[in-house]
Amino acid sequence: MTTLTTTLPPAGIQITTDSATEPFWQAAKENRLVAPKRADCGTFRPFCPNCQSQNVDWVTLSGRATVFSFSIVAGVPGQPELTLAAVVVDLPDAPGARLVSNVVDADPSAVQIGTPFVVDFVEIADGWKLPVFRVAADAVGG
């Protein structure tokens, strides 16, 4: 039997926010994946060296993503039964932006460079939600 990937126990996952990241986490509470778009030039960057714009529009994304890089972790200290798939994903509707996340409920062998995902959200500590990814239904069976 294959062990499906999961997150660390969600109740133990704590985040901290600041003014630069809080909009991301507030949107996640509403099951929305957002990315900061520079209002003046339209790029998705934490900071744009070209226009140095301070104006940011938090754009709601489709939630679709593809694997840019990944690592399968079989067992963590004290939790040998957990299989984690840590991924860096490309976000097709936020070109240039990438997100680090976990894949849930996937056969580890299904996580490959380019695998399409859709976002989902799991409740973590203090009422926040964590964006995670599932293998997109249209990826199964090719």
The only residue of 39, 41, 74, 76 in contact with Zn ion, by rule CB under 5 A:
41
Q: Which residues contact 39 (CB under 8 A, 6 or more apart)?
A: 53, 55, 56, 57
Q: Is 129 in the site for Zn ion (CB under 5 A)?
A: no
Please say which residue, 9 or 42, places its beta carbon nearer to Zn ion.
42
Kind plus residue range of the DSSP H or E element containing 68:
strand 64-76
Q: Is 50 in the site for Zn ion (CB under 5 A)?
A: yes
Q: Which residues of 30-51 are buried (b: 16+ CB within 10 A; e: fewer)?
A: eebbbbbbbeeeebbbeebeee
Per the DSSP assignment, residues forming a β-bridge with 26 are none
Are the C-beta atoms of 101 and 33 separated by less than 8 Å?
Answer: no
Among the listed ranges 45-53, 91-99, 104-112, 127-135, the one in contact with Zn ion (CB under 5 A) is 45-53
Please say which residue, 13 or 48, places its beta carbon nearer to Zn ion.
48
Q: Is 55 in the site for Zn ion (CB under 5 A)?
A: no
The only residue of 13, 51, 82, 118 in contact with Zn ion, by rule CB under 5 A:
51
Lookup result for tokens 């754009």: 59
Q: Is 56 in the site for Zn ion (CB under 5 A)?
A: no
Please say which residue, 38 or 129, places its beta carbon nearer to Zn ion.
38
Q: Is 38 in the site for Zn ion (CB under 5 A)?
A: yes
State the Cα–Cα distance between residues 31 and 15, nearest whole angstrom.
16
The only residue of 48, 59, 136, 139 in contact with Zn ion, by rule CB under 5 A:
48
